[in-house]
């Protein structure tokens, strides 16, 4: 049986029936509304679309977790965390997300860490992920 975006959305509690303020960016990357509900367009299955939806789910779950500080200075960490969580969720669904899909996020992680004067070499997991470009 083929996996669909709708199947993955049902598993991870994502609304696919309606998108608030529908525009191109919301349809491709989804949106989290003010109530913490993730909305994503039900569309043709691609690994990129699945990754975008799973990143949205990871961001939603991280933002709802009270143990996270969720401050801008740790944005490089959140970028890494969300990508790792999205890959883990994809593996649960039996789909491997190619590294090329996260290339821009990896470069952005390096940029954000440099901007905050954070030495990623001291954080081996993030360093290994970000330098795999």
Q: How many domains does the chain have?
A: 1
Say if residue 26's pLDDT is above 70: no
Say if residue 18's pLDDT is above 60: yes
Tell me, yes or no, if the pTM score tops 0.85: yes
- Per-residue pLDDT, averaged over 102-119, amounts to 95
How confident is residue 1, by pLDDT bands cut at 50, 70 and 90? low
Decide if 30 contacts 8 (C-beta within 8 A): no
Range of the domain at 67: 5-130
- Per-residue pLDDT, averaged over 67-78, amounts to 87
The strand ranges marked E within the chain are 31-32, 38-39
Say if residue 83's pLDDT is above 80: yes
b/e string for 16-31 if b means 16 or more Cβ within 10 A?
Answer: beebeeeeeeeeeebb
Q: Give the per-residue pLDDT at 72.
A: 84
Residue 38 pairs in a beta bridge with: 32
The contacts of residue 53 (CB under 8 Å, 6+ apart) are 5, 8, 9, 12, 14, 30, 40
Start-to-end Cα distance in the chain: 33
Q: Give the per-residue pLDDT at 93.
A: 95
Q: Give the per-residue pLDDT at 31.
A: 85
- Per-residue pLDDT, averaged over 54-61, amounts to 95
């Amino acid at each position: 049986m083929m996996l669909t975006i709708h199947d993955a959305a049902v598993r991870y509690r994502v609304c696919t029936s309606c998108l608030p303020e529908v525009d191109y960016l919301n349809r491709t990357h989804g949106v989290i509304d003010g109530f913490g509900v993730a909305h994503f367009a039900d569309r043709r299955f691609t690994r990129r679309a699945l990754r975008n939806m799973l990143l949205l789910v990871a961001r939603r779950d991280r933002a709802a977790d009270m143990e996270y500080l969720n401050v801008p200075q740790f944005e490089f960490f959140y970028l890494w965390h969300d990508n790792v969580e999205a890959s883990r969720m994809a593996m649960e669904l039996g789909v491997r997300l190619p590294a090329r899909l996260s290339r821009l996020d990896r470069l952005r992680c390096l940029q954000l860490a440099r901007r905050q004067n954070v030495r990623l070499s001291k954080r081996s997991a993030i360093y290994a992920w970000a330098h795999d470009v």
